[in-house]
Amino acid sequence: MKSCKWINILALFVILFSCKQEEGPLPILGFESKGENGEVTYHTIRDWTYTNQDSVEVSNNDLKENIYVADFFFTSCPSICPRVTKEMLRIYDAYKDEDRVKLVSFTIDPKRDTPSRLTRYAGNLNIDTKKWWFLTADKDFTYELANDYFNVAMEDEQAPGGFDHSGKLILVDQNGHVRSFSEGTDPEETPKMIRDIKRLLSETN
Amino acid sequence: MKQISFGLLLFFILAVSTGCGNNPYAKGEEIYVSRCASCHMTDGSGLAGNIPSLKESEVAANNANLVCVILKGIKAEPLEMPAQELEAIPLTNLVNYINHQFKEKTSEVRLDSIKTWIKNCD
Q: What is the DSSP letter of A71?
A: E
Q: Are B82 and A78 an interchain contact pair (Cβ–Cβ within 8 Å)?
A: yes
Mean pLDDT of A184-189: 96
| Among chain A residues, CA nearest to B39 | A82
Q: Could you report the per-residue pLDDT of B11-54, keeping only the tens digit for each? A: 555 555 555 557 889 999 999 999 999 999 999 999 999 999 99
Nearest-CA neighbor of A58 among A139, A141, A135, A157?
A135
Orientation angle between helical segments B63-72 and B88-102, nearest 10 degrees: 120
Give Cα A100 distance to the centre of its chain.
15
What pLDDT, on a 0 to 100 scale, did the predictor assign at position A205?
Answer: 63
Distance in angstroms (rounded) separating the CA atoms of residues A113 and A161: 13
List domains and CATH numbers for chain B.
25-121 (1.10.760.10)
Q: Are A1 and B80 an interchain contact pair (Cβ–Cβ within 8 Å)?
A: no
- Contact between A91 and A69 under an 8 Å Cβ cutoff? The reply is yes
Q: Are B39 and A82 an interchain contact pair (Cβ–Cβ within 8 Å)?
A: yes
A-to-B residue pairs, Cβ atoms closer than 8 angstroms? 46
Nearest-CA neighbor of A28 among A17, A44, A48, A15?
A44
Using a CB-CB distance cutoff of 8 angstroms, which residues of chain B are in contact with residue A128?
none
A74-88, A116-130, B5-19, B90-104: the lowest-pLDDT one: B5-19
Instruction: Give residue B78's pLDDT band: very low, low, confident or very high (50, 70, 90).
Output: confident
User: Chain A closest CA to B35's CA: distance in Å?
Assistant: 10
C-alpha distances in Å from residue A67, one per residue of A63, A171, B77: 7, 7, 32
Exposed, middle or buried, B18 (CB in 10 Å: 0-12/13-18/19+)? exposed
Q: Which residues of B touch chain A, with CB atoms under 8 Å apart? A: 1-2, 5, 38-39, 41, 47-51, 77-80, 82
Orientation angle between helical segments B26-35 and B88-102, nearest 10 degrees: 90
What pLDDT, on a 0 to 100 scale, did the predictor assign at position A1?
Answer: 47
* ipTM, interface predicted TM-score of the complex: 0.79
- Contact between A184 and A82 under an 8 Å Cβ cutoff? The reply is no
List domains and CATH numbers for chain A.
26-204 (3.40.30.10)
What pLDDT, on a 0 to 100 scale, did the predictor assign at position B20?
Answer: 52
Pick the more confident residue, B7 or A201.
Answer: A201
